[in-house]
Structure 1
């Protein structure tokens, strides 16, 4: 244990407590099983406590499951290869030939049988051996595939030699180039162990911290056992978490860049064998860098002087490789994944060309050893500070009510009337607190705490929290405009106050938004339609209007519809119904309808049959008044005969 991992200081007798081993008492170990007779009576004699000495480590090297000929089986291969002579094979793997006679075969056989019956790992190996025995065909191979049409940040191939787990996800049958091969036969042995940033705006700084296997804390733990840092992913994860917490503490107290407004970080592994962390630091407005000099005060791309700053020079020379710009999308890019292929192959008699007999591709989640250790310790993969509270709002008497199936409706109504929602509680807080009247609804959580028991806002005594109004799409119209007003209106004590501007109570939230200057006019859309009407076909103009309509950017689409009927000589009502019906048919495939838009007229009929000949439709578009006048004139010129 390291002192930075301590859980509590002080307490009884000023003891220091650690919680990483039991996850703050959330992990309990089962009681020790009754000592097996073989160990109790055969191997332990005398009055001393029973004991059994393990030679070496309680973890060992494991290679391929089957030995390469003519090598003999060893380690885990003893569970799979030539199991009929397993006892003798185990004896042959230890000591010299003249020492074999001193090893009791009965004890070896009894120990092997005991492990098969009571050890879960031994049982798994035996089950795998049975599968090998049942399927005598060429054993399957696994290949990791590099795909060019996938996200290279997530589907990159491992660059470190490590133990990893693949969890099969989506099935993929693309025939792609294979790059990395893992087989059941190999010469190598590997060591294993049995054991929205959106609420805060743009970040002021982007910081990356990468684990260094040469840290003294890591080297000291593996040096005594002749191990490499990669052999102990648990140590790597713990040391990196300690150093990450120290960095975050310095960032939070403002001793480096200034007082922060928020911090977001994510820990990644990316198949490199070591964890690293991306931190987005949001500073208070007064602390944000505003010039290049402010940036240069904290960040420098200059190489330190080799003579005057020799230590810093060596560190930069060893660890600083490049400066990279990242975005929110990269920080939250998702888990590591890989495409894997299982296949069987055989060698031709005349060549060594591999022939695939099956080709199965799997989209897999990739969990490295450090990733698994990090999650087993319960460390956070993503972190956001301060916390964000979602603020619901509603129309009068339309708040959500939660109840259980067995409750009587009378009790449900009574409870709903007696308990205020967070939104109604804001109205009441504005009556009771001077500070509340200076805040918008979204700013309330930063200075007040919502009491879930008392259903009221109380002044905040500690902590830093940001409020976020529940998202409402533009298509919801009045609810959208209500949300828009709540970002500006302060001191509201009733719903009427929300849609009041300058002492004038407007009929709708939308009109109040107009009065506050929160909505733009439709001039740019009117100009676009007018310009198109001078050269485009009627069908093009209708499609343009439908596209603008579905974009939800027009404030008064009903006013723009008059442009669509200009130039036609038929009756206004008939033309309008025809055009609106055509527009309705254009928006319906996108899940929209003209009925969803306020004050937008709706056609008398929608099921229009498109004329097969446009000339026929043009013949219907005539001026009846003018034709009547022409008819009278022509009739007057006819002969009496």
Structure 2
């Protein structure tokens, strides 16, 4: 860690996270994720080749070559040893032997392919000659310095970094097995997670020693703050069964990080220039008093706010305001722009030009109405609600419902026509986990079957068809009837 963080083996390090794990044989190893500053990020093939090698060390460096042979060769598998522990269904889980690669390729599904040239170079491992295809990638300096197996990989995409963050905290591997000698099928097995953890986890002496000695098993360079996000009096409340009323009463008088931030801005003028997301860098949240107090020592902080999906429009826009508005003293003050309190957080975002309004969507519908039939407009409106998240879907509906229901108004009265269209919109939204209510759209009234509308608008009067149309119509109807009879 000293060489990586302080002596900058790979470049200036801005963040590090690591976890120590124990193999099934009891040996410990460390998974480490290193993030470099922008100037030192590894982006090109030449930079990768300067840091990572996947080829056998040169014969002109016998010391390094011996270390590579001894420490960095993947346990022989494949045709050399089909019964190796890494083999599953005839293939190595670690993808060895690798393919030859004349030049390093930077990004293949988020991972680089290191240079492994077919130059005829090999070393003898046991009775087999092994080339670079079985070599685990390494850094020459670290291998020579520590004489230990240190696998070095370069990750250049967000996709792979996200996977590594999950991997380092994946936990120990274990298997739980329970034998039930009672043949009574009605006997239900009770799963006690704590009991199973104690009974089924085997701890090797080396791991036991480390834990009894209180050695740190993980570490990270930054402290992560997660900030609350909620509406007025809608914060999360945790309670034991039967104690809901007491927990609600207790939470009513207790501030969250968000409400405490409002109070901090009321009492401390120095805090007002800071956004909610930046406040942990300068203040510490005291969980006993539920207040923000000034920070007296510097810490590396990463702040996260609970996410909000766009379909939950008001919470999504509340979060957006908290990211762009500083010094707010209340929820009402947060949605006050130019001295005027606006009805919703969405309106405040629009007034602050944090969001575009629905003018573009309105223009798109108006343009489509010139050449599209009402049924197509209905589908288009449903897609807008699904993918574009309009700021005021109800207003958009009211402005365009006369165009969307134009053909229905010729067959039904206004109330029925305006109920059929929401049926279709709701059906499309339901297929994607949404409802009309999420967009404040009128919900369809039960009692008018949507399928009746589909059947009626598809009904064709054969008497009004010409000869060519009638031939096509009869062919289609006969084919459908044949399928039904089959």
1:360-379 Cα deviation digits (max 9, x unpaired): xxxxx9x9988785377436
Q: For residues 550 and 271 of structure 1, what CA distance do their matches in structure 2 show?
A: 49
Q: Describe the shift of the 1:536–1:316 C-alpha distance in structure 2 as closer, same or farther (beyond 3 A).
A: farther
1:513, distance to aligned residue in structure 2 (A): 1.8
Q: 2:232 aligns with which of 376, 396, 402?
A: 396
**Residues 285-304 of structure 1 mapped to structure 2, 5 A cutoff:** 288-289=40-41, 292=44, 295=47, 299=51, 301=53
1:387-445 Cα deviation digits (max 9, x unpaired): 3222113333444566789999899858844x433212212323444552232212222
- The worse-fitting range, judged by mean Cα deviation, of 387-396 and 297-306 is 297-306
Which residue is equivalent to 1:601? 442
Which residue is equivalent to 1:436? 271
2:417 maps to 1:582: no
User: Residue 41 of structure 2 aligns to a residue in which SS?
Assistant: coil
User: Residue 231 of structure 2 aligns to a residue in which SS?
Assistant: coil
Please provide the CA RMSD for this pair. 5.0
User: Residue 487 of structure 1 aligns to a residue in which SS?
Assistant: helix
2:177 maps to 1:424: no
1:526-561 Cα deviation digits (max 9, x unpaired): 7499669957893x7655644553457343433166
1:442-500 Cα deviation digits (max 9, x unpaired): 22222211122333211223333332212333333212211121122222223233224
1:509, distance to aligned residue in structure 2 (A): 0.8
2:34 maps to 1:281: yes
Q: For residues 296 and 489 of structure 1, what CA distance do their matches in structure 2 show?
A: 42
2:166 maps to 1:332: yes
Q: For residues 557 and 452 of structure 1, what CA distance do their matches in structure 2 show?
A: 40
Contact kept? 1:501, 1:516, Cα under 8 Å: yes
2:389 maps to 1:553: yes
Contact kept? 2:26, 2:205, Cα under 8 Å: no
Structure 1: runs of 5+ lacking an equivalent: 1-246, 343-364, 620-641
2:348 maps to 1:512: yes
Q: 1:374 aligns with which of 196, 199, 207?
A: 207
User: Residue 484 of structure 1 aligns to a residue in which SS?
Assistant: helix
Q: For residues 454 and 534 of structure 1, what CA distance do their matches in structure 2 show?
A: 63
Which residue is equivalent to 1:450? 285
Which residue is equivalent to 2:222? 386
1:197-249 Cα deviation digits (max 9, x unpaired): xxxxxxxxxxxxxxxxxxxxxxxxxxxxxxxxxxxxxxxxxxxxxxxxxx2x5
1:569, distance to aligned residue in structure 2 (A): 5.1
Q: For residues 270 and 37 of structure 2, what CA distance do their matches in structure 1 show?
A: 21
Contact kept? 2:382, 2:429, Cα under 8 Å: yes
Q: For residues 270 and 533 of structure 1, what CA distance do their matches in structure 2 show?
A: 68
Contact kept? 1:581, 1:607, Cα under 8 Å: no
Which residue is equivalent to 1:242? none
1:510, distance to aligned residue in structure 2 (A): 0.8
Q: For residues 273 and 59 of structure 2, what CA distance do their matches in structure 1 show?
A: 56
User: Residue 420 of structure 1 aligns to a residue in which SS?
Assistant: coil
Q: For residues 266 and 552 of structure 1, what CA distance do their matches in structure 2 show?
A: 41
Contact kept? 2:369, 2:377, Cα under 8 Å: yes
Q: Describe the shift of the 1:501–1:277 C-alpha distance in structure 2 as closer, same or farther (beyond 3 A).
A: farther
Q: Describe the shift of the 1:318–1:526 C-alpha distance in structure 2 as closer, same or farther (beyond 3 A).
A: farther
Q: Describe the shift of the 1:300–1:262 C-alpha distance in structure 2 as closer, same or farther (beyond 3 A).
A: closer
1:76-105 Cα deviation digits (max 9, x unpaired): xxxxxxxxxxxxxxxxxxxxxxxxxxxxxx
Count of matched residue pairs: 344
Contact kept? 1:425, 1:455, Cα under 8 Å: yes
1:271, distance to aligned residue in structure 2 (A): 6.8
Contact kept? 2:385, 2:393, Cα under 8 Å: yes
Contact kept? 1:565, 1:575, Cα under 8 Å: yes
Q: For residues 282 and 410 of structure 1, what CA distance do their matches in structure 2 show?
A: 46
Q: 2:16 aligns with which of 263, 268, 271?
A: 263
Q: 1:496 aligns with which of 322, 332, 350?
A: 332
1:294, distance to aligned residue in structure 2 (A): 10
Q: 2:316 aligns with which of 459, 462, 480?
A: 480
**Residues 145-184 of structure 1 mapped to structure 2, 5 A cutoff:** none
User: Residue 307 of structure 2 aligns to a residue in which SS?
Assistant: coil
Which residue is equivalent to 1:564? 404
Q: Describe the shift of the 1:581–1:606 C-alpha distance in structure 2 as closer, same or farther (beyond 3 A).
A: farther
Q: Describe the shift of the 1:514–1:314 C-alpha distance in structure 2 as closer, same or farther (beyond 3 A).
A: farther
1:279, distance to aligned residue in structure 2 (A): 2.0
Contact kept? 1:269, 1:370, Cα under 8 Å: no
Q: For residues 369 and 19 of structure 2, what CA distance do their matches in structure 1 show?
A: 49
Q: For residues 382 and 529 of structure 1, what CA distance do their matches in structure 2 show?
A: 58
Q: For residues 582 and 505 of structure 1, what CA distance do their matches in structure 2 show?
A: 36
User: Residue 17 of structure 2 aligns to a residue in which SS?
Assistant: strand
2:451 maps to 1:610: yes
Larger radius of gyration: 1
User: Residue 302 of structure 2 aligns to a residue in which SS?
Assistant: strand
Q: For residues 384 and 336 of structure 1, what CA distance do their matches in structure 2 show?
A: 22
Q: TM-score, with normalisation over the residues of structure 1?
A: 0.43
